[in-house]
Amino acid sequence: MKLSKIASEIAESPTFALNEEARLLRERGEAVINLGIGEPKNKTPINAILTSAAKLTSGEVKYTPPDGVPSLKKAIVRYTEENYDRLVAPENVIVTNGAKQSLFNIFYSILNPQDEVIVIAPYWVSYPEIIKMCLGRPVIVTPEDGTFTPRFEDIEKAVTSYTRAIIVNSPNNPSGAIYPPELIQKLVDFCERKGIFMVCDDIYHKLTFDKNIAIPAVRYTKKNVEDSHVIIVNGVAKLYGMTGFRVGWVVGPRDLVRVMTNVTVQITSGVSPVSQAAAEGALNGLQSVVEALRLQIQNNRDVLLQEMKSFNGARLIPPDGTFYALPDLRAFNNSSVEMARFLLKKALVVTVPGKEFGMEGHIRISYSGTVKDVTEGVARMKWALDPTSPNEIYIGDKKMVRDWL
């Protein structure tokens, strides 16, 4: 069978592949702990449930405007004003099927074949693949000092006449790093001066810890939304724990939104009105649910840091936000793919190889679940890798003995 070369070269999602393997193990009765998927365990906010249920029971579940229903766009306009100190119009907003489609539509709308996009490592696994699907070329910039924060000089050196955009994800998936304000300001000034788009993936922007703040890039531009090259991407998946509703949005210049709308019309026609009603309910409802989730996640992070202190050989830079950590396990194995498979086989713990995020030798751990998942998951990892840890452990109701160290 002859298939598209472009489609055939798209990498399989490591997160979904490992989750599927874990699901099959669970079906066989194995006591798997999933530290791989980034999905909070909270319940959907009640206001989101009520508004989506009302839309569903009305029976008026029909096509919506491809750029989003006016009432949801109005809620996003208010959200942008409150959280970004930025006045925008409904014409500057487009609603998409999750923030992932936001990113795809942005790059499809701004890239010509062989245009380049600067991607800062560690990066979310989908960035390079989305760029390649849009016939662009991802250019990876990796910090060389052992941290997860790039130097502005290294980003600047990577820019060529083909550079069309720089994508910035702070707080960062997979490391939890928050880029310092001076770096964000330099990037905004540089992009505005060079006419390069700065695509800000802000999906975790409120999930920060220890009084750290991820200052929005738009705070550093003096240009209005029509003239600025700063593009905001956000959604309800992470802050409200509404991953299954698939609602994201973009705030940017009207010309960009118009082209993205045309792209949406030809691909998905728009977002489900039931999901849009849920997102509207979340944005208009009590925002204490976001703070409650943030506190829960911060507690999980603190538990993780405590458990990792006794993990000899593992090096971890404490995350300042998101619900991910990216420990360095090169003391045990330089191949993160082999490491992730080993941990799943021996300890029944799902992690994601750091190689997929541009950080070989690391693995990504998600602590978005329960405290029990975090403590037991790390205990199993230590048992499997750290020779100073106890030689025996119970996994489920089975007593396991380590015989490979």
pLDDT tens digits, 240-257: 999 999 999 999 999 999
Q: Compute the C-alpha angle 275/45/102, nearest 5°.
A: 40
Domains, in order of start, for the chain: 5-43+288-386 (3.90.1150.10), 61-284 (3.40.640.10)
Q: How far apart are CA 314 and CA 327, in angstroms?
A: 6
Mean pLDDT of 282-290: 96
pLDDT mean across residues, the chain: 95
Confidence grade of residue 347 (pLDDT, cut at 50, 70, 90) = very high
Residue type (1 letter), 281? G
Question: What confidence score (pLDDT) does residue 37 get?
Answer: 84
Q: Compute the C-alpha angle 135/11/317, nearest 5°.
A: 105
> What percent of the chain has pLDDT above 70?
100
Q: How far apart are CA 351 and CA 364, in angstroms?
A: 6
Question: What confidence score (pLDDT) does residue 18 get?
Answer: 75
Inform me whether the pLDDT recorded for 85 exceeds 90. yes
Report whether 359 contacts 326 (CB < 8 A).
Answer: yes
Report whether 299 contacts 306 (CB < 8 A).
Answer: no
Report the Cα 323 to chain-centroid distance in Å. 10
Cβ neighbours of 362 (radius 10 Å): 29
Inform me whether the pLDDT recorded for 17 exceeds 80. no
Inform me whether the pLDDT recorded for 405 exceeds 80. yes
Inform me whether the pLDDT recorded for 23 exceeds 90. no
Which range, of 23-37, 40-54, 161-175, 180-194, averages the lowest pLDDT? 23-37
Mean pLDDT of 147-152: 96
Burial level of 72, CB count in 10 A (0-12/13-18/19+)?
A: buried
Confidence grade of residue 146 (pLDDT, cut at 50, 70, 90) = confident
pLDDT in tens, 292-325: 999 999 999 999 999 999 999 999 999 999 999 9
Mean pLDDT of 272-290: 97
pLDDT in tens, 103-139: 999 999 999 999 999 999 999 999 999 999 999 999 9
Inform me whether the pLDDT recorded for 283 exceeds 80. yes
Question: Which has more pLDDT, 5 or 171?
Answer: 171
